[in-house]
Structure 1
Amino acid sequence: MELNKAVIDCMRVLRRRLRDEMSEDIHLNQPDAIEAMLHACQRSADAETRALGVHLAEISDYQAASKQANARQYRGHETAAPASAAPQAPSEDAQRGHSVRMYRGQRVYN
């Protein structure tokens, strides 16, 4: 994720507000600083702090970054997209009437 002046300025304002309001001490050099700030903003009772959190999420493109971070991994390798995300055509074996399962990385025909 790219940190530009607008994102850093918003993070500074939020950091001060969260420190005063909730005693949250979030450092800007933390790898998960934006995520920690957004979670703290959701718990905040102040509407302006919550609005600043929404603004930070918009300008930092947090939703796109979180979708990439939530990609499923198996032993360090990205797996295919979940079935609900993209419909897949039936495989050649499934069209022939065979049931195919995966067991420890191997195809098992039933």
Structure 2
Amino acid sequence: MDVLQLEQANDKGQLRIIYKHCTLEGAGTGRTIVLKDEKGSTLKKWTFTNAGGSDLSMSIPVSELLQLEKNNAGHDLSLRYTARELPKGETLAFLRVK
């Protein structure tokens, strides 16, 4: 599993996530990215419109992630993707919080 390290990230940037379902011709519907702590509690949820055309990306402001890291120092955090086609979700990355 990948560890997302934001120490060098531009706080004005965007984290772009593209998730393609293997059973679909592209993106899922009802897509969300959720930031959870090690207890499984939801810290933040981003909801995305259904993708149309060739742009399947979901963008999260890096400044939001940095603030959430700061507010949850000492906790293990993870980014999870869910969609109607993947209701149980999948962990995309962990955030290393010191």
TM-score, length basis structure 1: 0.23
RCO higher in structure (CA 8 A, sep ≥6): 2
Structure with greater helix percent: 1
* Higher Cα Rg, which structure: 1
TM-score, length basis structure 2: 0.25
